[in-house]
Structure 1
Amino acid sequence: MTKIQLSVACAAYDRTRSVWDGDVSIDGVDLIYNTVEPEEAFHRAFKFGEFDITEMSMSSHTMMTSRGENDYVGVPAFLSRVFRHSGIYIRTDRGIKTPADLAGKKVGLPEYQITANVWIRGILEDEYGLRPESVHWRRGGVEEPGRGERAPIALPKEIDLQQIPDDRSLSQMLATGEIDAVIGARAPSCFLQGAPNVGRLFSDYRAAEEDYFRRTRIFPIMHMIGIRRSLVEKYPWLPVNVYKAFLQSKENAVHSIGEICHLMATLPWVAHQWEEARKLMGEDYWPYGYDKNKHVIDAFVRYHHAQGLSKRLVDSKELFHPSTLDISKI
């Protein structure tokens, strides 16, 4: 069979390396691989359609699917997953001791719609009763002033979301006390530099995240793989072949983590951490596939709609090509 030449864009994760370096191929595809930071891949794919296969934001994919405007079809290979209790940074001099204390506070975020913030708000509401409308949201760049939403959003009228001044960053405003907290995927530099009166809401975030997983069995999904819709219509075999390749690449990465004779990651006790993750989360602690993750995806689409980012409640199956929904049976 003559191979088709396709471009792919995603970050240089250990779990994608086998596809990147050619140890694992996508059957029927001659791949042009672009190592791109996630935010850049999202922007170039959704705004300009530059890539045939791309890492995708779970939030952007859900939003565009709800609008019927999505040029990409999802594949349940979840390249990025992160517990998000660690992503809440606070002024420690404002009486914020529990999540409920964020009510009435000014909380900064880089974008209302990013996946990390959908998860954080959903967890804060589900677990601690903090409703999004009880918070004064302030949007802007974490380090660089002037950031706005990557795609237009129309939030419920009860949500107070305001842009910060164009000459200010969220990190600056948290350091000076102009805002009370920041949520997001990246730590503000004022926290990393040890600014006075800046800390995490969950100081022992690992314990909080482990407890959350024990109770909910949710390991939050951030990013997935998408394929250009027009290509899937032309080559219906493509979604499953892409899924199988990225699954094998992930399995190769997990195997290498457990190699204690020669450490593949630059951490002294990486094999011990691998064993601890398996004890808590099971052998397949970073699962791909729809069935194994349905409860996680269902929670996310519920949060997304409740927070006003989806025009309608999306059925989680809509996010993926039908051929990949029962991939475990192949």
Structure 2
Amino acid sequence: MNKSISFLTLAIGSSSAFANVAPTTQAQVAAQGNLQLTISGYEFPRLKPILNGQVDIEGVDLDYVKMGIGEMNNDVLNGEQTLDITEIGLHPYMLAYANEDFRDYTLLPIFPLRVFRHKSIFINKESGIEKPEDLKGKTIGTPGYSSTSLTWIRGMLLDEYDITPQDVNWIASDVDSSKELTGAVSAQEAMMPNGVVIRTGTPGKDESELLVTGEVDALFHAAEPKAYVQRHESVGRLFEDSRTAEQTYYAKTGIFPIMHAVAIKTELLEQHPWLAEAVFDAYVEAKDIAYAQMNKLGWAADMMPWYVQELEATRTLMGDNFFTYGLDEKNTKTLETLFRYSHEQGLSDYQLKIEDTFHKSALELVEQK
């Protein structure tokens, strides 16, 4: 197979592009020449082999476009839809599907970003917050209330500590100190549900400044806020030993929270139903390359002094393939938990199901190990 990336892009944005056209087989496409498609995603080690051409999607030549997650979300959900295959925020997609009848793209069970979120709760150390239950009655800041990360945090706090969104006061900042990493917040990440009062913070202040000045007592944020990165003396994490808290949570629930999935144009899958498996297989192969690198030279490539010990501890708790793709039992439980959280929190109009959000050609996709 050709390992080079073609920089030609197929114009397929029209909603009638594949109207009344019979589905293809992979053999037919091979005989006619590869599909020319545009892809976007972060250059994570687990994705990089696809983005740099080391791993092919069989039957496809790719044009890689570099974007932040906010830009990817906005292109797909609110913009020109220039991307054929793309990483996307899971919850923004869910909200567009459930609340806006969005069907232009569909999901494949590939999860490029998974993150435990206990580490994402930051506090002003002078606020009197020492344990999760102390959040009740406090003021919480956020740059994006309905983002995937925040939805996971609120759900976890309800399930584990009986803290509802109505138990706290909410302030949304109009500036995000991590914007350069993530891109602009999409409309689906700034949704404000009925039954929850969300005020706007001081204009021009980012979420980090709100926390430092005490305008908010705590902060829920996917990225580390600027004040925490700069080791501001008044800012810390609610869970000081977030590693232990997250490992305990996983041991209890089996949930490794999913942040991003992969979206693909629905028309593409309708015209080329073999494409779901081809894309899935390529992402799995790329992830396997990343695993191999971790096993052989991860300790040398990474600057962390206890890299090997951390890798071994993770495998002991979560298994060798701890970053799984596909709709296996654990991933299905994780997805259904986020579906429940979204509806319970008044964000999605109804509780989604796996068969709603994932293309029918992808429902049986699981890794073969």
TM-score per shorter chain, which class? over 0.9
Shift of 1:272: 2.7
Q: Does 1:179 align with 2:216?
A: yes
Corresponding residue SS for 2:56:
coil
> Which residue of structure 1 lines up, in the alignment, with residue 333 of structure 2?
295
AA at the equivalent of 2:140? V
> Which residue of structure 2 lines up, in the alignment, with residue 51 of structure 1?
83
**TM-score for the superposition, normalised by structure 2:** 0.84
Taking a change above 3 Å as real, the CA distance of residues 232 and 261 of structure 1, as seen in their structure-2 partners, is: closer
Bigger drift between 258-267 and 4-13 goes to: 258-267
Shift of 1:91: 1.3
**TM-score for the superposition, normalised by structure 1:** 0.94
> Which residue of structure 2 lines up, in the alignment, with residue 143 of structure 1?
177
> Which residue of structure 2 lines up, in the alignment, with residue 198 of structure 1?
235
> Which residue of structure 1 lines up, in the alignment, with residue 304 of structure 2?
267
> Which residue of structure 1 lines up, in the alignment, with residue 250 of structure 2?
213
In structure 2, how many angstroms separate the alpha carbons of the residues matched to 1:265 and 1:34?
26
AA at the equivalent of 1:325? L
Task: Tell whether the 8 Å contact from 2:74 to 2:186 is kept in structure 1 after alignment.
Answer: no
Taking a change above 3 Å as real, the CA distance of residues 94 and 261 of structure 1, as seen in their structure-2 partners, is: closer
In structure 2, how many angstroms separate the alpha carbons of the residues matched to 1:291 and 1:283?
15
1:65 maps to which of 81, 88, 97: 97
> Which residue of structure 1 lines up, in the alignment, with residue 349 of structure 2?
311
What runs of 5+ residues in structure 1 fail to find an aligned partner? none
AA at the equivalent of 2:107? G
Shift of 1:97: 1.2
List 4+ stretches of structure 1 deviating above 6 A: none
Counterparts of 1:45-124 in structure 2 under 5 Å?
45-48=76-79, 49-67=81-99, 68-124=101-157
AA at the equivalent of 1:304? S
Task: Tell whether the 8 Å contact from 2:70 to 2:186 is kept in structure 1 after alignment.
Answer: no
Shift of 1:180: 0.6
Aligned residue pair count? 328
Task: Tell whether the 8 Å contact from 1:54 to 1:227 is kept in structure 2 after alignment.
Answer: yes
Taking a change above 3 Å as real, the CA distance of residues 329 and 56 of structure 1, as seen in their structure-2 partners, is: closer
2:164 maps to which of 113, 119, 131: 131
Deviations 1:100-134 (A, max 9, x none): 11111110001111100000101111001110111
Task: Tell whether the 8 Å contact from 1:112 to 1:149 is kept in structure 2 after alignment.
Answer: no
Shift of 1:144: 8.0
AA at the equivalent of 1:134? D
CA RMSD across the alignment: 1.9
Shift of 1:262: 7.2
AA at the equivalent of 2:191? I
Shift of 1:94: 1.8
Task: Tell whether the 8 Å contact from 2:172 to 2:199 is kept in structure 1 after alignment.
Answer: yes
1:40 maps to which of 71, 96, 121: 71
Shift of 1:176: 1.0
In structure 2, how many angstroms separate the alpha carbons of the residues matched to 1:92 and 1:326?
48
Computing the radius of gyration from Cα coordinates, the structure with the larger value is 2
AA at the equivalent of 1:94? S
Task: Tell whether the 8 Å contact from 1:259 to 1:271 is kept in structure 2 after alignment.
Answer: no
Shift of 1:261: 8.7
In structure 1, how many angstroms separate the alpha carbons of the residues matched to 2:121 and 2:83?
33
Identity %: 33
Taking a change above 3 Å as real, the CA distance of residues 197 and 12 of structure 1, as seen in their structure-2 partners, is: same
> Which residue of structure 2 lines up, in the alignment, with residue 160 of structure 1?
197
In structure 1, how many angstroms separate the alpha carbons of the residues matched to 2:178 and 2:251?
37
